[in-house]
Amino acid sequence: MSRNPPQHPHKSAHTHEAGRASAAGDPVFAQPQPSPDPIGFKNPVTDQSDKELANVEAVPQPVGGAAEPILMLAQVYGSAGAAKTAAIERAGQIVFHSVGDTGSAKGPSTQSLVADKMVSDFTEANSADIPSFFYHLGDVVYYFGEATYYYDQFYEPYRSYPTPIVGIPGNHDGVVYAADPAPTLAAFLANFCAPSFAPAPDAGGLARTTMIQPGVYFTFDAPFVRILGVYSNVLEDPGVISGEDGTYPTLDSRQIDFLQTALARVKSENYAGAVIIAVHHPPFTGGSTHGGSPLMLQDIDNACQAAGVWPHAVFSGHSHNYQRFTRTVNGLQIPYLVAGCGGHAPLEKMSGTYRTPFPIDSTLTLESYDDSDYGYLRVVVNATTLSIEFHPEGDGGTTKTPDDVVTVTLANHTVA
């Protein structure tokens, strides 16, 4: 849905990688001029009461049908990609953001608070600390994944975000309502999985171009880190990534095969970087509204066991708060993080009050949580460690100190 450009240009901080493309066909990220946040939506959400289709939907094939669709960081920077990759390698680390459930159906304020604080991370004394991308954990828009919501809930909030945004869809990005003729994920595919960088019809004249992901599940390969993202479909609960032995006949084992193939490549290449699995629905959660997805977790575990490789961390959203668990598998310590606090209101309270660390069983411990603040993950990876920070917006727009940090030693999967 095309709209006129905003009349009030967004406040921006450091415009690293922002502005107009430097070569024909290159991507564009942030607006070239600063502007204030909007105070309302151009297209208010009115479909909360519409009846959604409750069936698990077929997952679109990735471009080319590869067993492991791969997108390189250099690709999403266009002609600047080689220089960007070289700069990260010289710096010896990569920094990126991650969070889900950013679409704010009630108005822009909560989402803008998080987006503005994320933009403040581009003002750094050391250029090595500047984020290189934002990996979205799904639920870009609410309540249905329609193109008409992308301006208010995606392009407008991130108009000052000066680097690429990639990610996986959440259940609300894929769900359609009964009277909607659009197929599942149509708007997500148009905005995130376009064949080339191009002005986005749903951006309303804002500068950010479409993204070029190969599909809704793929490997995002950057210096020091690989993120294996899968799509956990449209149900509120549970998350589903396979047919689960005929329970969901519209699905097949393609995403499990993808995970196994990607993890097997990690092993065959003796890859030394961080490996992260990203999925919208959390394998487990202590939230009071959403439950875990044990059969989805078993599918992920099966792929890891078959490949003989386990991730260094698992990222998810869906539960609208922050939670961090440590799970021990085969002697390896793996953080499982829920970061569904990107702006969707209201926040989800936990099912109880826990003094952390709180042992759940012999293999799983709830280490930390925050069910009263919106916020995001800032992730730092170098040759030896993966550090994941939680930054709540309630600490202030320029505060750099995280409220929670976990560091994983890559070589032996131990958590500090």
Q: Is position 24 within any domain?
A: no
Give the CATH number of the domain where residue 188 resides: 3.60.21.10
| Residues 310, 300 contacting (CB under 8 angstroms) | no
| Residues 163, 133 contacting (CB under 8 angstroms) | yes
Q: Is position 30 within any domain?
A: no
| For range 154-175, the mean pLDDT | 97
Strands in 358-359's sheet, in edge-to-edge order, are 70-72, 218-222, 225-230, 274-279, 313-316, 332-339, 322-329, 364-370, 358-359
pLDDT confidence band for 33 (50 / 70 / 90): confident
Look at the chain and report how many structural domains it folds into. Answer: 1
The domain in which residue 273 lies consists of 63-415
> Is the per-residue pLDDT at 152 higher than 90?
yes
Flag the least confident range among 122-131, 176-185, 249-258, 364-373.
176-185
Give one word for 331, left, alpha or beta, with left for phi > 0 and alpha for psi -120 to 50.
left
Rounded Cα–Cα distance for residues 70 and 262 (Å): 9
Tokens representing residue 161 in the block: 């975000």
Does the predicted TM-score (pTM) go above 0.85?
Answer: yes
For residue 22, the model assigns a pLDDT of 59
| For range 383-392, the mean pLDDT | 98
Flag the least confident range among 69-73, 113-117, 180-184.
180-184
Could you tell me which residue, 39 or 335, shows the higher pLDDT?
335
> Is the per-residue pLDDT at 248 higher than 70?
yes
pLDDT confidence band for 53 (50 / 70 / 90): low
In sequence order, the 6+-apart residues with CB closer than 8 A to the CB of 157 are 102, 104, 108, 111, 112, 115, 343
Q: Is position 340 within any domain?
A: yes
| Residues 195, 189 contacting (CB under 8 angstroms) | no
% of the chain beyond a pLDDT of 90: 85
For residue 10, the model assigns a pLDDT of 36
For residue 35, the model assigns a pLDDT of 86
Q: Is position 76 within any domain?
A: yes
pLDDT in tens, 280-325: 999 999 999 999 999 999 999 999 999 999 999 999 999 999 999 9
| For range 74-88, the mean pLDDT | 98
Q: Is position 29 within any domain?
A: no
For residue 55, the model assigns a pLDDT of 87
Q: Is position 9 within any domain?
A: no
Which of these, 397, 345, 315, 395, lies nearest to 115 by C-alpha position?
397
Rounded Cα–Cα distance for residues 209 and 363 (Å): 44
> Is the per-residue pLDDT at 5 higher than 60?
no
For residue 392, list its beta bridge partners: 375
Q: Is position 4 within any domain?
A: no
Q: Is position 42 within any domain?
A: no
